[in-house]
Amino acid sequence: MSVATKLHSPVCEPRAILGPGGNRVRVLEDPKRKGEALKKPQQRPRKPTVVVSEVPQLVVRSNGSVDSSCSSDSSSSGSLAKPVSSKKTTPAPVRRKGLKPVKVVPDGVEVVAPTTRISGPPKRCDWITPNSDPIYTSFHDEEWGVPIHDDRKLFELLVFSQALAELTWPAILNKRDTFRKLFDNFDPSSIAQFNEKKLLSLKVNGNLLLSEPKLRAIVENAKQILKVQQECGSFSNYCWSFVNQKPIKNGFRYARQVPVKSPKADVISKDMLQRGFRCVGPTVIYSFMQVAGIVNGHLLSCFRYEECKINVEKVSKPKTDEESAILTKALEMTSLSI
């Protein structure tokens, strides 16, 4: 072989090959080495496998999963258990367009509905306070201002209105049973028979129930009520005739606006004094009109104001033609005498 032939003979030199992994240069291996490689495969470095026992508890609780390599190993071997959290978590609400998130309640959790707000005590007239006597509060809530048409009851309330000059409402109400016992349940025909000895025996714990002038006025008023019953049919007809059988509605908002007397009370007081009644001044008569329901004296803010208006239809007593004729004749006679 010539020299030229030797010079131009191809020489096997390594060439750079662009592999799929990047611009790394791979050199063609020698066939001998390649054979050795086939006999003893080259071991590639494996990524470290993480064991559950070696994972810190903090990582398991916070992440809830391990590395992706661990997840691949667990899918093949099935040796990696799912992390268990000590605290039961609730799934986050799914927000959808146009829908509000719904609170998911875990199983076993009892849902307690919110309690309704309990309202406070009802609004009463300003002269009834939390420190008022309970018997006085009950009297205000149940009796005061309710229209009365019974003669005995009206006579009782008239006596109580006269007693306000010496006693308070709580004191009177605490002695109400004593009043009824000593005054024969306020029967006008019985009280009209009281003599001097009977009057002086009206004592409680050694003291007179009321002053002597007041006791004498009660006996005299009982006699006058009997006369009114003969003229007008009943004491109720006489009292309610001054307001056309309908209660007067005051409609005051504040206690300072409530008067101690009224023009109507002046008219009734003058008529009763003309008939011979005693201790029936305008102030006494106005108190009597309020407690007997002839005047709705409750404040507008009091819950009893509207209730007393409803009671007017329930307890109002219809008048017959005979009673109306007797009442009209009695009033005409009274106006002529005046």
8 marked as part of a ligand binding site:
no
149 marked as part of a ligand binding site:
no
Please state which CATH number belongs to domain 134-337.
Answer: 1.10.340.30
pLDDT < 50: residue spans in the chain: 1-7, 9, 25, 27-28, 34, 37, 50-84, 115, 314-320, 334-338
140 marked as part of a ligand binding site:
yes
What lies within 8 Å, CB to CB, of 26 at 6+ separation is 17, 19
Q: How far apart (Å, rounded) are the C-alpha atoms in residues 171 and 178? A: 11
Q: How far apart (Å, rounded) are the C-alpha atoms in residues 192 and 216? A: 10
| 123 close to 302: Cβ distance less than 8 angstroms | yes
> 208, exposed or middle or buried, with CB in 10 Å at 0-12, 13-18, 19+?
middle
Q: How many residues does the chain have?
A: 338
Tell me which residue has tokens 């496998």.
Answer: 49
Pairing state between β 248-249 and 295-296: parallel
Domain boundaries, the chain: 134-337
End-to-end CA distance of the chain: 174
Count, in order, helices (H) and strands (E) of the chain.
16, 4
Q: What is the pLDDT of residues 255-304, one digit of tens each?
A: 888 888 999 999 999 999 999 999 999 999 999 999 999 998 888 888 88
Q: How far apart (Å, rounded) are the C-alpha atoms in residues 88 and 269? A: 82
Q: What is the pLDDT of residues 30-48, one digit of tens each?
A: 555 545 545 555 556 565 5
